[in-house]
Amino acid sequence: MFTTLLKSPIPFSSSFNSTQNPSKTQKGNHSFNKNSKFSVSKTHRNGPIKMPTPPWMKGPLLLQPDEVLKPTTKRSSNNNSKAPEKALFGKESGVRGKKVMKKIIRDVEKLQGNGVLDDNQIGKFEEFEIGNWLEEIGSDGEVKKIDRKMPWVREEEKVVFRRMKKEKVLTQAEIILDNDLLERLRKKAMRMRKWVKVMKAGVTQAVVDEIRLVWRNNELVMLKFGVPLCRNMDRASEIVEMKTGGLVVWCKKDVLVVYRGQNHWLTSNGRRVFNNLASDNNTTMSQEKSNASTWGRSLNGEDRDENNQPVVGSLYERETDRLLDGLGPRFIDWWMRKPLPVDADLLPEVVPGFRPPTRLSPPKTRPKLTDEELTNLRKLAHPLPFHFALGRNRNLQGLANAILKLWEKSLIAKIAIKWGAQNTDNEQMANELKDLTGGVLLLRNKFLIIFYRGKDFLPQGVANSVMEREMALRRCQLIEEDARVKVAETFQVANEPLAKTSTVGTLAEFQDIQTKYGVLEKENNELEIQIEAQKENLERELRNQERKLAILNGKIEKSATKLAKLNSSWQTAEPDLDLETITEEERECLRKIGLKLSSCLLLGRRGVFNGVIEGVHQHWKHREVVKVITMQRAFLRVIYTAKMLVAESGGILVSVEKLKEGHAIIIYRGKNYRRPSKLMTDHLLTKREALQRSIELQRIGSLKFFAYQRRQAILDLKLKLVL
């Protein structure tokens, strides 16, 4: 190819023009390099030419020289558009993967649409057609087909189902009242500013009486709910309509407006009828509520069962109601979503003949729960509905009996503590229920109590079967014993008395052994186990205390070493033998002067160091007396500090006085006082060293106190082990 390039006339003409215009020569060379592929195709007319191929083609593309496309000179109106063959053969830079493949597909479609490829080229491309099957040549030369989806094949559009909107259920007011009347009542309700407050206890009889009192003068009454009913206003409206007989016409956030109705009774008889309706049992009210909700849903076209009766509630509610049927009356003032739990306060306080259930663990299992099982049971109990609502602390035999019935169908019993109930104690409730049922307490707080029936729980039917089986075994043993005695009497020697008959291997012998030694051996074994456990605990605690004492002793030695090093770096001054004396009158006068001084020198935890002596001399520069206040509590330590100040400064101790702030040490400089040339002495500690010494003294004192406590604990443990 290089020789053909030298023989072509294009380089010769460009070199000839280079002497005339160098700039044109550069442009000519550039254009030559640009179109070098096509110049090669013009020279090679004897054999096929290898053309560039797309990335998906695995074989070479060989074309004859007359089949090679020639570049078009016509420019497109759009400068950004590329020639089809350049778009196919050119390199794509800056993008990778899926985008490149999509762009190549579009370019191929453009080539086919423009008719650039002729029949021969199309035939050659068909050899490398990309379909669902790819051909691969194996090591043995055989062609294998692999069904593989290519990355540029567009996936089918996914079908997206939109969330269905919840159908609006008509309220009782919308069903019964006219639209004009309902609109008028709602406009009036928006302007109301006075309301009746509903507290934690819910819609009580006092709230109902207050609502009826408002209805005497006004057809509407506004209710403002607190927790917990404010969290479920749908349930709140149902309770209000059921207990008052009114209609909820307007609702916003935690506020309800109730209409008294067109047939409102204002007479005393009418009020008495309302009171009778409100005092009905919970079963009747629940039935009325279910009938009203059934009527509203039937108008909306709800599903019906096999008996052509409308289905009330969801499957979740129906299954929970079926689980709780027969356990007791429902709690009407329930503040959460349905189903309604059983009202435990209406269950009997004492059940005649009640006793805790029989418990028997399966073979090779322990009744105690592991941590993992406890966590799993708590997670399982979280989404379950509440089965009972409780508001009293004691006399829970009726609730315990209902829980035992529930455990025959469910593993977990979930109890809600009523809001607004006075003096509720969840700990007392849980302890009494645990004693009555024998269950496992999973969770307890001020809102709920959750019990698990336990691994050793036996339903009543299974417990009865076990008892019957044990009684049958005892009867069989008695029958065998009677048969053995009869056989022994048959083969008895006539002269031998019956009392000397051997009982070896009989049931009577086994029962005698169990009576004499069985209970005693069991008690002894339990006592020995308890003693061994206590001994092991004491030995473990003794080793722990000894280890802690060894650590404290090491710290004491380390602190003592640091303290000895600091103490060796300072020494007290020798007392002056030629002391100046003062009279009692002078001492009293100097004491009064010192007490009246407003300026003083504070002595902190560092004690006496070189900075304190410098401060004393600075005070003596302007006055004859200095007052030093120390915070030390022990009077002997105060006297020692005063003597040390006198020895280091060379002054005269006037007095030591007890003040509210601490102790005041008054020192007189003397009549023959001369200010020293160097105020800070070298034989005392510096400020930093004095602080370190104070910290080490405090540390070693605390460590010795704790070490003393450890020694006393070790002595007590050794004494317990000996006894």
375-409 residue pLDDT tens? 999 999 999 999 999 999 999 999 999 999 999 99
Within a 10 A sphere around the Cβ of 415, how many other Cβ atoms?
24
277-291 residue pLDDT tens? 444 444 444 444 444
Q: Which tokens sit at 141?
A: 């030369």
Provide the CB-side half-sphere exposure for 11 (13 A, CA).
10
Which residues of 659-722 form beta strands (DSSP E)? 663-668
User: DSSP secondary-structure letter at 390?
Assistant: E
By DSSP bridging, strand 412-417 and strand 388-390 are parallel
C-alpha dist (Å) from residue 323 to 202, 327, 403: 26, 9, 12
Per-residue confidence band for 263, with pLDDT thresholds at 50, 70 and 90: confident
Residues above pLDDT 90, as percent of the chain: 45
Range(s) for CATH 3.30.110.60 in the chain? 172-259, 315-361+369-458, 570-685
Residues above pLDDT 70, as percent of the chain: 72
Tell which wins on pLDDT, 62 or 645: 645
DSSP, residue by residue, 451-474 = EE--TTB--HHHHHHHHHHHHHHH
Whether the pLDDT of residue 540 is over 90: the answer is yes
The listed CATH number (3.30.110.60, 3.20.20.70, 3.30.530.20, 3.40.50.720) that belongs to domain 570-685: 3.30.110.60
DSSP, residue by residue, 191-217 = T----EEE-TT-S-HHHHHHHHHHHTT
Q: What is the 3-state secondary structure (H, E, C) of 585-647?
A: HHHHHHHHHHHHCCCCEEECCCCCCHHHHHHHHHHHCCCCEEEEEECCCCHHHHHHHHHHHHH
Q: Residue 106 has what pLDDT? A: 81
Q: Is the dihedral of CA 322, 328, 329, 333 positive or negative?
A: negative
Q: Which residues of 671-682 are buried (b: 16+ CB within 10 A; e: fewer)?
A: eebeeeeeeeee
Q: Residue 585 has what pLDDT? A: 93
Angle between helices 426-437 and 397-407 (to 10 degrees): 60
Across 24-33, 358-367, 481-490, which has the greatest mean pLDDT? Answer: 358-367
What do you get for the CA distance between the two ends of the chain, in Å? 111
How buried is 475 (Cβ within 10 angstroms: 0-12 exposed, 13-18 middle, 19+ buried)? exposed
Q: Which tokens sit at 179?
A: 């639209």
Please state the CATH superfamily assignment of the domain spanning residues 172-259 in this structure: YhbY-like (3.30.110.60)
Q: What is the 3-state secondary structure (H, E, C) of 179-191?
A: HHHHHHHHHHHHC
Whether the pLDDT of residue 159 is over 90: the answer is no
* 362 φ/ψ sector (left φ>0, alpha ψ -120 to 50, else beta): beta
Q: Residue 95 has what pLDDT? A: 54
Least confident of 368-377, 621-630, 674-683: 674-683
How buried is 403 (Cβ within 10 angstroms: 0-12 exposed, 13-18 middle, 19+ buried)? buried
Q: Residue 37 has what pLDDT? A: 39
Q: Which tokens sit at 262?
A: 């067109």
Rounded Cα distance, 300 and 306, in Å: 19
Amino acid letter, 408: E
Whether the pLDDT of residue 201 is over 80: the answer is yes
C-alpha dist (Å) from residue 485 to 345, 476, 488, 499, 716: 59, 14, 5, 12, 61
C-alpha dist (Å) from residue 483 to 107, 180, 487, 489: 105, 95, 6, 10
Q: Where are the alpha helices (DSSP H) in 352-425?
A: 371-381, 397-407
Is the whole model's pTM more than 0.85, yes or no? Answer: no
CATH number of 315-361+369-458: 3.30.110.60
Q: Residue 25 has what pLDDT? A: 38
| β-bridge mates for residue 310, sequence order | 304
Tell which wins on pLDDT, 58 or 21: 58
